């Protein structure tokens, strides 16, 4: 992982990653200016966000240490809406049917529809809780590393997770798709039902994601695998707990009809590639 990065150490690897991504996004916004809603506000955010980061780097102050370690949470989250909602609309193409066709070729059926034969309200409720708390689960590893004073591991994890999110966002632009619960809704023999909070959690996610084209690759699969792999720096107990959580969320993505299985395969492949390649990339950028 390397040594702990200090606030006056110049640009960190995650800084270079975020600034490069913001520059890339600004170029895309300019290229699709007439097709992206609120393009002016989005461009202004990229410029202002980049300026704030550079200021914190070049002008260390009492807020710098906390800001530089935790700002990727806000910055990376801010990129979600434009990548999942706005930019796919600018391309005027959706790949749901092609992804569903791939699932059909692999399995000879639609897995999400087939799994309806084993569904139960209690099982559905459990998996919806697992799926809904994906972001807190990813952030929990960061919090545990921070609380235990493992700052070098924390900083590497911040870079890995930021990279993982940003790579998945690029997938949303290249292969925009909404997911099988929209495309295959008419093929559902038995709609999903939970016990108590299933409908509320699903509706809340729908509102937060609005009309998101964020199925490919499965970010839930990719980021949860990265969190599980990284949790070994916390303890063996957490590593085991995250392994169980990872298996549950991967199954939940298909059972709850949020993802095609090819989305899951793609997310897993991206995670494995990042686990293997990120140590080299981190050292190079550092």
pLDDT in tens, 138-178: 999 999 999 999 999 999 999 999 999 999 988 988 898 88
Residue 199 lies in a domain: yes
**Confidence band of 83 (pLDDT split at 50, 70, 90):** confident
- Token code pair at residue 17: 């990653």
**Tens digits of residue pLDDT in 61-71:** 888 999 999 99
Q: What is the CA radius of gyration of the chain?
A: 20
**Which residue, among 232, 276, 234, 274, has the nearest Cα to 143 in the 3D structure?**
234
- Domain count for the chain, please give it: 1
| CATH number for 128 | 1.20.144
User: What Å distances lie between residue 250 and 37, 69, 154, 257, 271, CA to CA?
Assistant: 33, 29, 25, 11, 13
Q: Domain range spanning residue 98?
A: 93-285
Q: What is the pLDDT of residue 204?
A: 63
Percentage with pLDDT > 90 across the chain: 51
Q: What is the pLDDT of residue 226?
A: 97
CB 4 within 8 A of CB 152: yes
Place of tokens 């107990």: 237
User: Could you tell me the pTM of the whole model?
Assistant: 0.89
Residue 256 lies in a domain: yes
Residue 45 lies in a domain: no
Q: What is the pLDDT of residue 120?
A: 77
Residue 39 lies in a domain: no
Q: Which residue has the higher pLDDT, 112 or 262?
A: 262
Residue 213 lies in a domain: yes
pLDDT exceeds cutoff 80 at 199: no
Q: Which residue has the higher pLDDT, 60 or 141?
A: 141
**Confidence band of 52 (pLDDT split at 50, 70, 90):** very high
Sign (positive or negative) of CA dihedral 171, 172, 176, 177: positive
Residue 158 CA to residue 75 CA, distance in Å, equals 12
């Amino acid at each position: 992982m390397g040594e702990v990065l200090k606030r006056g150490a110049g640009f960190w690897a995650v800084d270079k990653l975020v600034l490069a991504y913001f520059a890339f996004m600004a170029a895309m916004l300019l290229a699709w200016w007439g097709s992206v809603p609120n393009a002016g506000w989005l461009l202004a955010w990229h410029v202002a966000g980049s300026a704030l980061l550079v200021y914190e780097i070049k002008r260390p102050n009492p807020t710098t240490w906390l800001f530089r370690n935790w700002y990727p949470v806000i910055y990376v989250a801010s990129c979600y809406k434009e990548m999942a909602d706005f930019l796919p609309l600018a391309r005027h193409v959706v790949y749901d049917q092609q992804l569903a066709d791939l699932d059909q070729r692999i399995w000879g059926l639609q897995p999400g529809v087939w799994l309806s034969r084993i569904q139960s309200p209690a099982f559905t409720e459990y998996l919806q809780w697992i799926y809904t708390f994906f972001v807190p689960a990813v952030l929990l590893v960061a919090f545990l590393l921070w609380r235990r004073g493992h700052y070098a591991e924390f900083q590497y994890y911040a870079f890995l997770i930021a990279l993982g999110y940003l790579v998945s966002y690029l997938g949303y632009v290249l292969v925009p798709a909404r997911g099988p619960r929209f495309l295959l809704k008419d093929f559902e023999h038995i709609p999903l039902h939970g016990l108590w909070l299933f409908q509320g959690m699903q509706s809340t996610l729908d509102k937060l994601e609005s009309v998101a084209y964020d199925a490919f690759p499965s970010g839930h699969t990719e980021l949860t695998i990265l969190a599980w792999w990284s949790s070994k720096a916390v303890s063996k107990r957490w590593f085991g707990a995250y392994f169980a959580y990872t298996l549950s969320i991967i199954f939940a993505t298909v059972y709850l009809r949020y993802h095609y299985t090819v989305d899951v395969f793609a997310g897993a492949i991206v995670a494995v590639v990042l686990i293997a390649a990120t140590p080299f990339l981190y050292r190079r950028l550092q």
